[in-house]
Structure 1
Amino acid sequence: MSSTTVRETALDALAVAQPVAPLDAPEPGQSLASGYGRDVFNARVMRQRLPRDVYDRLMQTMTRRAPLDPADADVIAGAMKDWALEHGATHYTHWFQPMTGLTAEKHDAFLSPTPDGQVFGEFSGKMLIKGEPDASSFPSGGIRSTFEARGYTAWDPTSPVFLLGDDHGRKTLYIPTVFYSYTGEALDRKTPLMRSVEAVSAQALRILRLLGNTTATSVQAMVGSEQEYFLVDRRLYIQRPDLMMCGRTLYGARPAKGQEMEDHYFGSIPSRVLAYMQDVEQRLFALGIPAHTRHNEVAPGQFEIAPVYEDVNIATDHNMLTMEVMRRTARRHGYVCLLHEKPFAGVNGSGKHNNWSLCDSDGHNLLNPGETPMKNAQFLVFLAAVLRAVHKHGVNLRLGIIGASNDHRLGANEAPPAVLSVYLGESLSGVIRSIAYGKEAEGGGVAPIEIGVSVLPEIPRDLSDRNRTSPFAFTGNKFEFRALGSSQNIAAANISLNAAMACALDDIAAMLEAELAEGTPLNAAIQGLLAKLFAEHMPIVFDGNGYSEEWLAEAERRGLPNLRDTVAALAHYGDKDVMDVFDRHNVLSPREMLSRQEILLESYTHTIAIEGHTALKLGRTRILPVALAYQTRLADAASAAASLAGDAEPEKAYFLRVRGHVRGLIAALDALEAVLDARFGDTALAKAEYARDRVLPAMNACRGHADALECLCANHDWPLPSYAELLWLH
């Protein structure tokens, strides 16, 4: 069957496609949330199945990170096994997050044979706590050699164990774990994330103690991660090798209508898409993932799902699981869920807004301005720490949002620029200017604000409008880190953010302690320190249009780094001041950091190389043959017109126009092949730079001619589904 016939058949089927009923649809009158967390070994289940003393100790481990008593492990493992078997599970797996950017799992059966031909369920405390997957093929950046295969997984009891099944009801018990090498070094993203949480907690507690808080026992980073994605019909997807291999279209002319009318944003959700969303939500509810918001996004075919806030470690696990559920569920509805940051040129790509705050163990949000003077003082100290973290350690935060795919978004007038700045809004910016300079920045002079533990001006709860162009925006009681890519593991950004914040809080605590040691009263120490900090870090505050060229020039004047792409950012991973942020509180050792630099550079190079080879093959085997055949038909038409009418100038001009792009495409494909066949470089950085500077431009040259030909060739001849079909058929 020809590609044209396949495509037409797909479109015919799509025209009559009906929404698929969700697999786990609730009974009539049953609430969607009635099964919330039914596939999670949560507190309710543990209360029912564990002895009270074991349950109490496990709760201390989960909520306060107290060490797990090894004697309890067998009891807990037995209860987990019985619960899993009762729910249809046959296997268990240690679920971890290696440096591939995805999750990994190895399934082991609960059932083991006995010499008499029987089977019995086996799952001990040792099996729960520790596993040993083969680590040889996971990226380690030089920490491990290929022949050194030993790696370990260790249960993370702070993240809930859950059941995950397929459409046939077969379930597996998933145990969230960390992943580390034989040397004890982290091979994953969960381990440094958990270290960063402990670091920021320890330093935040120092501040709270200085401010008189004697009840809080810990401080937790909280995150709510909004997730954007595209849906495309699977029948069309399988006809796009670029989407299948690379996650994005390497060729494709813009449709006549894109997002110009802005009619898709928050528009009525198509019924087939809504059925998919409801199915995803039901599965997430069963896994204890608090999905809260769903809507159409800016680009056609683009949508968003957002949860409520959670502990950052759990939020990270839940976001990785959400992406997996979205991908699996899409297949049931005849869709493919695209999580690439820029699957289509010319329309908005997809991001992941990381809403971050700090909360103490008493339940107080430390970034909430609050309604009492004491909370206002506390808020301003932590606000100063945020500004210091982003200003002094902006390169570290930039390293948390890198990736070849995210490079297509950052700074592209649809996402924040690569320059990191903080948006506070006019009201709050005015407050900190008053503290820093003793007067209103706009010239309306006022007396200096007296900053103390007991006397503060009341700060309104809603301090700002929203600034979509800011990469790090205050939104009332949290900061929204908007530069993350949709496919990325949010652990990377939060590791950087928590580590930078821990350093900033450490600095501020040391300054306050020094002032108090010299006999300065607390109120005066806070007053002076806040004025100094706000004045020092005012350059990071920007409330204007982050998309403007003027801002980039202003940012350079302020001394803010502009690391425009992943390779430029990764070149700074080994800088002493960058490494110190991670090493200072044992979030990552220097060896672990350099290994990550190597892994991320290699990943970038491989990504671009795969795209280059895909573009080359697709151009030569799909696009060029169609264009050559069309060129031949145009030549025949021009010759026929000349012989019959004696004048074929219009036909000849059209033929020459097509021929010009055909010749251009042939030359561009030859150039791309030469670039791909050449030596990329001797070091990981040199190879990545070559991929950025040589391969990407060569691919873009091929695309320019191919996209022009798509607009000139007959639509029914074109071998690839068009943007209009991919984006608008839902």
Structure 2
Amino acid sequence: MATLRQSALLIAQGRQKTNVVPPSSKISDFFGSNVFGVKQMKESLAPSVFKKVIEATERGGKIDPSTAEEIASAVKTWALSKGVTHYTHWFQPLTGSTAEKHDSFFDAHAGIEKFKGSALVQQEPDASSFPNGGIRSTFEARGYTAWDPSSPIFIFDKTLCVPTIFVAYTGEALDYKTPLLKSMEAINTAAVEVCQLFDRNVKKVTPSLGVEQEYFVIDKALFATRPDLVMSGRTVFGHNPARGQQLEDHYFGSIPTRVKDFMMDFEIEALKLGIPVSTRHNEVAPGQFEVAPLFEEINKAVDHNQLLMDLMDKVAEKHSLKVLFHEKPFAGVNGSGKHNNWSLITDTGVNLFQPSNSARENLQFLTFVVATVKAVYDYADLLRSSIASASNDFRLGANEAPPAIMSVFLGSTLTGVLDELEKNGNVKIEKGDNMYMKLGISKIPEIILDNTDRNRTSPFAFTGNKFEFRAVGSSANSAGPMTVLNVIVAEVLRTMVKDVEKEISAGKEKKIAVVNVLRKYIKDSKKIRFEGDGYSDEWAAEAEKRGLSNLKSTPYALDTYLDKKTADLFSKHNVLSAIELHARHEIMLENYLKKVQIEARVMGDLALNHVIPTAIQYQNKLIENANGLKGLGLDNTAAIDTIKEVSKHIESLKHNVMDMIDTRRKLNKEDDIAKRAKGYCDNVKEAYFDKIRYAVDKLELLVDDEYWPLVKYREMLFIK
């Protein structure tokens, strides 16, 4: 193994850069060239067919069979002209990644290429072979993928991809996209009702999303020598190098040449797919980077982020690199998130989280900000559950990631506005008085994009014209947390309309009625607002006093999906049924359990088959040297001390690994998946992972570098 490590290092150090040549000096020449978008549809479809497609994509209209046939014919012609031979329904099952089954256009019996409207609209993958939480038995295989016209058809890896939803034969959602689309409709309905209190011209509200994707990059050869990275996506062992991120010199620093070539390459391919990538830079930790797109409608943004991760993986292979999307691939340095920047946009072009110089628009702005804050307060545990995973548990609360405690950061200016509004809620308005001046609302135009500092320890922060959900993990499908966010805000907005109507019925003028409701909501949700250091012990104590939950571990956080309050919420907005919620709860528990099991097995394998034999081999060498020194009459105290130190860590390592294996055997007999997952959390991960790692990392410092079998942090993080 040590020889393998040295060989990998030689390969990594000898890599040459890969030249990347854009297809044109102007991005506009090739942007969206692999997408069957509006331009392609307008050019290839009859005007009446094109109109129906636009209605389906923008207004949720249905596409009839004859229209589907014409679209399929045009899509086939376009795809064949680009050398495409196969098509697939591209969907997002509850595995966390995307799925696809390729079918050929070529019909051998007819001797021609075919693509029927029925193949465009619907296909039938095996619903029992994907995670379903007991919805489908093994022998009940039928499930359906159905075309989502609101997300564009695209060509990826020489295959025509049709974005689809994925449902069981009995209709239950087995994917991330279906509930996301339903949540978009829920928040649209609720937000339009609220908007019409201020502007009757608003007929539609669309949630918008910008996803900042963080990731690590290491050399492919170094990756291949680390079984823990290959099997679990993270390094279960590895001592911190002398130099990590403490010099703060990597953030926004010069991008390493090979990594920059990789970035340029995947950006070109992303732009061809219509993914509006716009930002790239070094992140805080060595070997860590970020890519960020422009904002898009939330459904497209989620699809594009999933596609982008797949694309980055494939392009990295060309550059002999490996992309790590795990939230915490390396201990002791910054973890990776997927910051979800969320806002609401009206069909009149107004960002509802953008303050302006208009008093009416600012009252509307305040209304949506307060509603969002109250939604986070009312459903903090559900929001925490939406970002729960085995990998994100390692990140939350460590090295720049926000804590597991849900809170909202608004900044000093907006906090002052809400405090003023709460304090001066029911003010007698004399004729000629400026109500907004009395209520402090006139201060809002001062809130510009950079008026308030950012708080990177906050899980949910207002950042000028949007809310940034920073707690989402880098490997997650954003559809999960965004579905929850859409639904909880929709619920508060619907309640808000009813409360305003009650005030109006009691004789209040509409604007005063809105302000009165806002004052109550501000007061009710005040506990969730926090402006300080989310890492501090003081905040954890203060949050407990406020009654805020601190759900640090996934199996416990996921219990929220079983609450009646959660079931009522999703059912009320027709997003997920009780059956679907229970299925998701079971799927996420099983996913957690399997990941911890894999990591435990990897730890055992590396410890027993790699680390301990190496340490014993080195120990024997030390004993031989100590005996030699003694035979020569020389002092061998230092050698003896090292032998004792090595022996101590070997014994500790072996003892803890064997105890962990024994604990796992006992837990595997537990039939209740919730109890088994919590058992693995408390009695395996929490009880043994750190102890085993400590012993291995100490041995890494003691054993001669020539003997050590595992590629070290200093090599993975700094050799590019």
TM-score category (smaller protein):
over 0.9
2:678 is aligned to: 689
Single out whichever of 283-292 and 60-69 deviates more from structure 2.
Answer: 60-69
1:168 is aligned to: none
1:442 is aligned to: none
Contact 2:212 2:292 in 1 (8 A): yes
Single out whichever of 330-339 and 551-560 deviates more from structure 2.
Answer: 551-560
2:429 is aligned to: none
Identity of counterpart residues, as a percentage? 45
Contact 2:165 2:175 in 1 (8 A): yes
SS at match of 2:625: helix
Contact 2:610 2:709 in 1 (8 A): yes
Please tell me whether residue 177 in structure 1 is matched to residue 164 in structure 2. Answer: yes
The whole-number CA distance in structure 1 between the counterparts of 2:655 and 2:443 is 68
1:270 is aligned to: 256
Distance 1:529 1:452, change over 3 A: farther
1:236 is aligned to: 222
Please tell me whether residue 431 in structure 1 is matched to residue 431 in structure 2. Answer: no
2:102 is aligned to: 107
Distance 1:360 1:453, change over 3 A: farther
Offset, 1:454: 14
The whole-number CA distance in structure 1 between the counterparts of 2:394 and 2:497 is 39
SS at match of 1:658: helix
2:711 is aligned to: 721
SS at match of 2:18: coil
2:628 aligned to which of 636, 640, 643: 640
SS at match of 1:223: strand
Offset, 1:71: 2.6
The whole-number CA distance in structure 1 between the counterparts of 2:666 and 2:601 is 13
Offset, 1:340: 0.3
The whole-number CA distance in structure 2 between the counterparts of 1:51 and 1:353 is 41
Distance 1:413 1:555, change over 3 A: farther
Question: What one-letter code is carried by the residue in structure 1 that aligns with 2:84?
Answer: A
Single out whichever of 369-378 and 78-87 deviates more from structure 2.
Answer: 369-378
Name stretches of at least 5 consecutive residues in structure 1 with no aligned partner. Answer: 166-170, 440-446
2:22 aligned to which of 20, 25, 44: 25
Contact 2:417 2:444 in 1 (8 A): no
Offset, 1:582: 1.6
Please tell me whether residue 378 in structure 1 is matched to residue 395 in structure 2. Answer: no
Distance 1:653 1:12, change over 3 A: same
SS at match of 1:678: helix
2:112 aligned to which of 117, 120, 123: 120
The whole-number CA distance in structure 2 between the counterparts of 1:295 and 1:657 is 43
SS at match of 2:562: coil
SS at match of 2:339: strand
Give per-residue Cα distances to partners, 1:546-574, cap 9 Å, x unaligned: 11111111111111111111111012221
Single out whichever of 137-146 and 510-519 deviates more from structure 2.
Answer: 510-519
Offset, 1:624: 1.1
1:54 is aligned to: 49
Offset, 1:637: 1.0
The whole-number CA distance in structure 2 between the counterparts of 1:415 and 1:449 is 41
Alignment TM-score, normalising by the size of structure 1: 0.95
Question: What one-letter code is carried by the residue in structure 2 that aligns with 1:10?
Answer: A
Question: What one-letter code is carried by the residue in structure 2 that aligns with 1:522?
Answer: K
Name stretches of at least 5 consecutive residues in structure 2 with no aligned partner. Answer: 426-432
Single out whichever of 698-707 and 342-351 deviates more from structure 2.
Answer: 698-707
Contact 1:451 1:523 in 2 (8 A): no
1:621 is aligned to: 609
Offset, 1:544: 1.0
Alignment of 1:359-370 (within 5 A): 359-370=345-356
Alignment of 1:545-556 (within 5 A): 545-556=533-544
Offset, 1:650: 1.7
The whole-number CA distance in structure 2 between the counterparts of 1:259 and 1:647 is 40
Question: What one-letter code is carried by the residue in structure 2 that aligns with 1:527?
Answer: V
Offset, 1:458: 4.6
SS at match of 1:716: coil
The whole-number CA distance in structure 2 between the counterparts of 1:570 and 1:545 is 26
Offset, 1:711: 0.4
Alignment of 1:239-318 (within 5 A): 239-318=225-304
1:45 aligned to which of 36, 40, 50: 40
1:147 aligned to which of 139, 146, 161: 139
Question: What one-letter code is carried by the residue in structure 2 that aligns with 1:110?
Answer: F
The whole-number CA distance in structure 2 between the counterparts of 1:222 and 1:592 is 25
2:383 aligned to which of 377, 393, 397: 397
Question: What one-letter code is carried by the residue in structure 1 that aligns with 2:640?
Answer: K
1:417 is aligned to: 403
Give per-residue Cα distances to partners, 1:658-682, cap 9 Å, x unaligned: 1111111121221122122223422
Contact 2:417 2:441 in 1 (8 A): no
Please tell me whether residue 67 in structure 1 is matched to residue 62 in structure 2. Answer: yes
Contact 2:335 2:399 in 1 (8 A): no
SS at match of 1:572: helix
2:481 aligned to which of 474, 489, 493: 493
The whole-number CA distance in structure 1 between the counterparts of 2:166 and 2:440 is 47
Question: What one-letter code is carried by the residue in structure 2 that aligns with 1:181?
Answer: A
**Runs of 4+ in structure 1 displaced over 6 angstroms?**
451-455
Offset, 1:545: 1.0
1:345 aligned to which of 320, 326, 331: 331
Offset, 1:629: 0.4
Contact 2:362 2:441 in 1 (8 A): no
Give per-residue Cα distances to partners, 1:607-631, cap 9 Å, x unaligned: 1001111111111111111111001
SS at match of 1:174: strand
The whole-number CA distance in structure 2 between the counterparts of 1:453 and 1:184 is 50
SS at match of 1:210: coil
The whole-number CA distance in structure 2 between the counterparts of 1:172 and 1:79 is 16
Give per-residue Cα distances to partners, 1:390-443, cap 9 Å, x unaligned: 00011111111010000001112421111111111111100100010129xxxx
Contact 1:242 1:250 in 2 (8 A): yes
Contact 1:253 1:723 in 2 (8 A): yes
Contact 2:17 2:261 in 1 (8 A): yes
1:444 is aligned to: none
The whole-number CA distance in structure 2 between the counterparts of 1:320 and 1:227 is 10
Question: What one-letter code is carried by the residue in structure 2 that aligns with 1:185?
Answer: E
1:198 is aligned to: 185
Contact 1:377 1:456 in 2 (8 A): no
Aligned length: 709
Alignment TM-score, normalising by the size of structure 2: 0.96
2:430 is aligned to: none
Offset, 1:218: 1.1
2:531 aligned to which of 532, 543, 553: 543
Offset, 1:511: 0.6
Distance 1:454 1:71, change over 3 A: farther
SS at match of 1:563: coil
SS at match of 2:107: strand
Offset, 1:93: 0.3
Single out whichever of 59-68 and 133-142 deviates more from structure 2.
Answer: 59-68
SS at match of 2:445: coil
Offset, 1:105: 0.5
Offset, 1:645: 1.5
Question: What one-letter code is carried by the residue in structure 1 that aligns with 2:57?
Answer: M
Offset, 1:57: 1.5
Contact 2:663 2:683 in 1 (8 A): yes
Distance 1:294 1:701, change over 3 A: same
Contact 2:402 2:456 in 1 (8 A): yes
Offset, 1:701: 1.9
Contact 1:434 1:449 in 2 (8 A): no
SS at match of 2:561: coil
Please tell me whether residue 16 in structure 1 is matched to residue 25 in structure 2. Answer: no
Single out whichever of 120-129 and 297-306 deviates more from structure 2.
Answer: 120-129
The whole-number CA distance in structure 2 between the counterparts of 1:8 and 1:448 is 75
Contact 1:638 1:655 in 2 (8 A): no
Question: What one-letter code is carried by the residue in structure 1 that aligns with 2:672?
Answer: T
Contact 2:12 2:222 in 1 (8 A): no
Offset, 1:264: 0.6
2:152 is aligned to: 160
SS at match of 1:484: coil
Give per-residue Cα distances to partners, 1:452-487, cap 9 Å, x unaligned: 999845522244111111111101100000000000
1:708 is aligned to: 698
